Amino acid sequence: MRLSRLWQWLSGERTAIKEPSRLYAAEHGIVKSHISENALTVLSTLQQNGFHAYLVGGSVRDLLMGITPKDFDIATNARPEQVKKLFRHCRLIGKRFRLAHVVFGRDIIEVATFRKAASKAKHHFRKNGHGMLVSDNHYGRIQHDVLRRDFTVNALYYNALDEVVIDYVDGVNDLMHGRFRIMGNPEVRYREDPVRMLRAIRLMSKLNLQPESATEKAIPELASLLSEISSTRLFEELLKMLYGGQALANVKLMYRYNLLQYMLPFTSAIMSKHGKLSHLDQLGLENTDNRINRGMSINPAFLLSVLLWSSVKDREQGFRAQKHRPSTAFRMAADAVLSNQLRVTSIPKRITLMIMEIWRMQYPLETLRHQQAMTLVQHKRFRAAYDFLILRAESGENLKEIADWWTQYQNVDAFEREAMVLVLSNSNPSIENCR
Ligand code: ATP
Ligand code: MG
């Protein structure tokens, strides 16, 4: 059978899988109410029009684990133009992958036509000198589509209408046994798209999966390929790493697999020097995970401002030693650290501005001048800057007294606030001059 030979070839020593396993509702236990109405509408519209259509990838994986997926991707044999004709609000996007986005207000369901894996038809794919895919828009059948997926647990298809999971790669078994395997030859697949190494980390920590040895061994060896990836794509991955509720685990894993230096070079350098995260970084990561896991909102600049802070302080010392004025030394340090980070991962201007504001507010918050307290507390970045000050105090900096002062200041009325500032500056003038 052609498919089984292909699979054998792609997977090296691995046993060929001839036919897909089919799991029915009683076996897979997927709760249909976890599937978005919009995804179900797209699936049934496609099927009613004679096409095959399945939920695929992360959504099936998450449904099997009892997690409500955050997005629903659909794979179909309909071509993008055919999909577009079926839906009033549908746009076609992407050059490398031509995809259909079916739009339901703010919800978007992504519909991809089955495609062939790179190794199946080499002449249809363009790779650069490192083996990275730069174009792979060649349509195929579901048996082809399955082979271009990144990991076995992401290569599952679910026909939500008859409630059958289709598994060509033993992915359900892997998921149930906590195993994590890349599809095919790890080196080839990571070379084709080095971002798969980051996706591997994220999935292992999210689902607590144990990588098989070939899947994990290739990562540190090929980590430097990440430097070929655009800074924009790396920033998107960084956001997923930091704001998925597993930031601490992800940062540690990225470090362990040599990937962190291509995402957060400053944090990586500090970890190399001390063999662990700084206390502040550890607290910042835990704090973000806690907020996300409790469903609280987060400021996207906060964690980045934490992770880059100690490098800013180090450089500030350097510039001060060169006799720059403190405010100039601080500005130069902050600019240098941010622009270095921006070379690795782009960061939208709106976020770099927030990071700068959080940093810039630290000095006035620490030193607390009478006339500034009211202005500071009304600043749009006060909350993040205050949270940052608290974290610095918790991490061991000598800021507990002033951090407590700000906590109390926010909880009293205007009259008491005025009194607090007067009492503090009269009784402890050194606070005004602590730098
Ligand atoms: P998440 O929970 O972050 O959404 P996901 O696996 O669903 O995880 P998506 O980016 O939504 O990630 O991708 C959907 C599916 O597309 C994946 O499950 C996988 O099958 C496939 N896929 C995504 N990125 C790649 C890649 N770089 N290489 C191969 N397949 C990929
Ligand atoms: Mg997804």
- Is residue 132 within 8 A of residue 192, CB to CB? The reply is yes
Cα 100 to averaged position of ligand 1 atoms, centre (Å):
16
- Report the CATH number of the 1-177 domain: 3.30.460.10
Check residue 102 and give its pLDDT.
98
CATH 3.30.460.10 boundaries in the chain: 1-177
pLDDT by residue (tens digit) across 376-408?
998 999 999 999 999 999 999 999 999 999 999
Test site for ligand 1: of 35, 73, 201, most ligand atoms within 8 A of the Cβ: 73
Rounded distance between C-alpha atoms, residue 79 and residue 1, angstroms: 26
pLDDT by residue (tens digit) across 253-277?
999 999 999 999 999 999 999 999 9
List all residues 6 or more positions away from 227 whose beta carbon is below 8 Å from its beta carbon: 262
As a whole number, the mean pLDDT across the chain is 90
Q: Which atom of ligand 1 is nearest to the CA of 58?
A: 7
Check residue 69 and give its pLDDT.
94
Among protein residues, the one whose CA lies closest to atom 16 of ligand 1: 57
Strand positions, DSSP E, 97-187: 99-104, 107-113, 126-127, 133-135, 156-159, 164-167, 179-180
- Is residue 102 within 8 A of residue 89, CB to CB? The reply is yes
Burial 200-223 (b: 16+ CB within 10 A, else e): bbbbbbbbebebbebbbebbeebb
Q: Running DSSP on this structure, what letter comes out for residue 209?
A: P
Among protein residues, the one whose CA lies closest to atom 5 of ligand 1: 58
In 3D space, the residue among 141, 139, 155, 202 whose CA is nearest the CA of residue 57 turns out to be: 155
User: How would you write 45-101 as a 3-class SS string?
Assistant: HHHHCCCCEEEECHHHHHHHCCCCCCCCEEEECCCHHHHHHHCCCEEEECCCCCEEE
The pTM for the full model equals: 0.89
In 3D space, the residue among 353, 428, 361 whose CA is nearest the CA of residue 392 turns out to be: 361
User: Residue 211 in 3-state DSSP?
Assistant: strand
Cα 154 to averaged position of ligand 1 atoms, centre (Å):
7
Q: What are phi and psi of 49, to 5 degrees?
A: -95, 15
Average pLDDT estimate for 179-194: 97
- Is residue 178 within 8 A of residue 60, CB to CB? The reply is no
pLDDT by residue (tens digit) across 98-154?
899 999 999 999 999 999 866 555 555 566 777 776 555 688 999 999 999 999 999
